[in-house]
Every structure is written in C-alpha cells, then in structure tokens.
Structure 1
Amino acid sequence: MNMHLAAADMAERSRDIVREHKHLEGPLLPILHAIQAEFGYVPEDVKPVIAGELNLSRAEVHGVVTFYHEFRDHPAGRHVLKLCRAEACQSMGSDRVADRVRQLLGIDFHQTTLDGAVTLEPVYCLGLCACAPAAMLDGEVYGRVDDHCLSEIVGEIGR
C-alpha cells in the first residue's frame, strides 16, 4: 500500500492498474479493488483517470465507489475495525456494541482516531449471523461480540 506518491505518479500507477485489468469482463470493480490495495483508498484524482481509460464518465466511476461500502475516499488508519450493522447483528445488540466502541475509541463510523491507529467502519454482513453481533479487525472476524470481547479487540489495536 503506497499512500505517499505524488499526484502524477499516482495517476500513472492508476493507468498501469487499469491496463492490467482492462481485459476483464466488467473490469471496474477489480480495478477499484486494485487501486485501493495500492493506495489504501480510491483517491478523487484517479477517478478521471479510470473513467478516461474505460471510456466511462467520472460520475459513473464515482457512483460505483460511493455505492460500495468497501471503498474508501481517504486513507484508513493502521488498523480497520468493522462492525456489522445488518439486521441479525442489530437484533443481537450490535447498536450497544457500536456505542461502546465509539466511546472507547472516541470516534464515529467512517472516522480515524487522531493518532491514525484505527478506522471504524460499518459493514452490512460479515456472514456470522449465527454468532451475532459480529466484528472484524484487520480481516480477523469475531463473533458474539460483547464488552469482554471488545476489550480484547481494542487491546489488539494497541499492539
């Protein structure tokens, strides 16, 4: 993940990524995933590059980026904590979990702590409905999240 490139270098790297994926059927999503893997987010400045290379409007690219919750428009923290907000998790207390996490971290959804340690993101299903409420920290999933589990998760962030 390279978040410190100059705008011209970022545009050129984005063109390379588009060319690597352009041959795929429906290449926009794989391109956006590759861009985010490269830069840590989908920079506003690369949307016109992607649009131009794929013969799409900038609005079409922007619409896809904003439709899918997985894509970020700014760099994430060193750790990403995702809390499931889907119905099964809500019915098992995810609102209480979310309130507690926001209190512990001092941030809201789509925000990053001031020290850049953690970004808090909502997700709308982690596939652990039978173990609700669910969370994910840096790709590791946790089920039946409660106050004790939250302490462990937040402790992991501090390491």
Structure 2
Amino acid sequence: MSSDIDEQLSSRTADLRIVVDDLSGPKVAALLTQHLAEMYDNSPADSVHALDLDALRGPDITFWSAWEDSELAGCGALKRLDATHGEIKSMRTATDRTGRGIAATLLNHLIAEARARGFHRLSLETGASDYFAPAQRLYARHGFEVCPPFADYIEDPHSVFMTRTL
C-alpha cells in the first residue's frame, strides 16, 4: 500500500521543477507575504520566526522555489548554522497546491542539499497550535523528532523545535 501512495505522489510531483531563487519575482514575494501573514495570524508576534524577503537573501541562506510549468507551487530555504548543522526556513506550499506531495518533495530536496553540504544535523522551528499540525506530521514522517531549542532560539510554548541527523 505504501508503495502505491509513493507512486501516486511521485507521479503528481514528477513535473515539479525546484530551482535556486533570488527572491526577486512577484509570485515568490506574494507567496512569502501570505506565509508571513498566516504565521502572524496563528502565533503571537514574538513567537514568529519566519523570515522576510531581505532576511532570506542573507549570505548563509539558500532559497529554492518549486514550479509546475509557470505556476509557483512552493518554496523552502536552507540556513547554515555552522559547518555541520543546517536549519529549514520558509517551507511553504501554495494554497491551491496542498495535498499533492509538493511539501514532501521540497523537504526531500532540502535534506539532500543539507547532506551534500556536509551537514550532520538538520533542524527547524514550527508553530505549536493546531494550524501547524500538518507541518509537524510532515516533518515527523521524514525523521524529524521534537528537540530542545537550538541555535539562538529560546523555549517558547508557541514553538515546536525538531531535528534529525543526516
């Protein structure tokens, strides 16, 4: 059964093109604006750790956009914390494309990139409310486990910290 589901997801995401993005396009800007707005709608302001366009252009971050033909399907970023530890940032699927395996494909891409960069650990922060439950399930399915705060994060009841070894 699992292989049937994997085959269905593979066929639905076979035409997904994931590219390094300079964050200059209006579709990417619109998706990230929506992402930030929803983060603020679902978490207290001091618990929102999503990055804006300028922060995502930082030298320690690589940002990817995912495309189906000319339509933006999603995005994700990888932040270098140190020589062996990376962080996933700004994982987002376009609202009209959820449930099609795009997030899983993007996440697998980020994991592969982290390995290629020599990272031994990959971590992330997501929200703790019910709104973030699908993201938490996605990360858990891909081997991420709840962990204490990492990097510069502090304990926060509105945040869930997750990590996995590579």
Q: Is the TM-score greater than 0.5? A: no
Length-normalised TM-score, structure 1: 0.24
Which structure: greater strand fraction? 2
Which structure: greater helix fraction? 1
Length-normalised TM-score, structure 2: 0.24
